[in-house]
Amino acid sequence: MPLQNPEGDMAVKKKAAKQKPAQKAAAKTSKARGKKARVAVLMGSKSDWPSMEAAVEVLKGMGVGCDVRVISAHRTPERHHKFVTGAEAAGIELFICGAGFAAHLAGVTAAITPLPVLGVPLDSSALNGMDALLATVQMPGGIPVATFGIGKSGAKNAGLFAAAMLAGSDPSVRKALDAYRKKQTASVPERPF
Ligand code: RP5
């Protein structure tokens, strides 16, 4: 039986074949929106969102569902305890915690969950994040927090690191991570002018 619109179908097929891996990965983003959250992204204040958004953007772009919350270890301790203790049963596999000043959000989270905790020190204080960096990275032996760079680039890398952790058991995340790297490499010009 002849195709109803052979030219149209051919055009669609050609377009799909031309799609680069990064585009295919991006196309999956919309599918990820309704996905069950595997990563909890916590931040101490709503004012942390402009930095922490970078982690969520990376993960959503790779089809990883995130549960994003404003939870402060010192301002909302009960909200913190309730969420963190219930997270694993809700399907969360790891935490990304961003906070500024005397940043204990990541450390206190790591203290009450066996799940991996990635900490992002934020530059919201007069010390430009050095306080948060030391507070997050200098965990006493026994309760680890994997600590990233200060601010937005740290949040972005925490998102990428989380994706790399999930990629080991999830081929679709691995594929998206590979596509992300390829796209990034292709975007670097050979000369600066
Ligand atoms: C920290 O205090 C938060 O993580 C934030 O970085 C900082 C300031 O919070 P706001 O005073 O802007 O709410 O706990």
- Nearest to 169, CA basis, from 93, 55, 91: 93
Mutational pocket test of ligand 1: of 42, 46, 48, the residue with most ligand atoms within 8 Å of the beta carbon? 48
Q: Per the domain annotation, does 17 fall within a domain?
A: no
For 162, the domain range is 35-176
The total of structural domains in the chain comes to 1
Q: Give, using CA atoms, the residue closest to atom 14 of ligand 1.
A: 44
- 126: domain CATH number? 3.40.50.1970
Tens-of-pLDDT digits for all 193 residues of the chain?
334 444 444 444 444 445 444 344 333 433 444 689 999 999 999 999 999 999 999 999 999 999 999 999 999 999 999 999 999 999 999 999 999 999 999 999 999 999 999 999 999 999 999 999 999 999 999 999 999 999 999 999 999 999 999 999 999 999 999 999 999 999 999 999 9
| pTM metric for this prediction | 0.83
Q: Per the domain annotation, does 13 fall within a domain?
A: no
Whole-number CA gyration radius for the chain? 20
Q: Per the domain annotation, does 110 fall within a domain?
A: yes
Q: Per the domain annotation, does 126 fall within a domain?
A: yes
Q: Per the domain annotation, does 92 fall within a domain?
A: yes
Q: Per the domain annotation, does 187 fall within a domain?
A: no
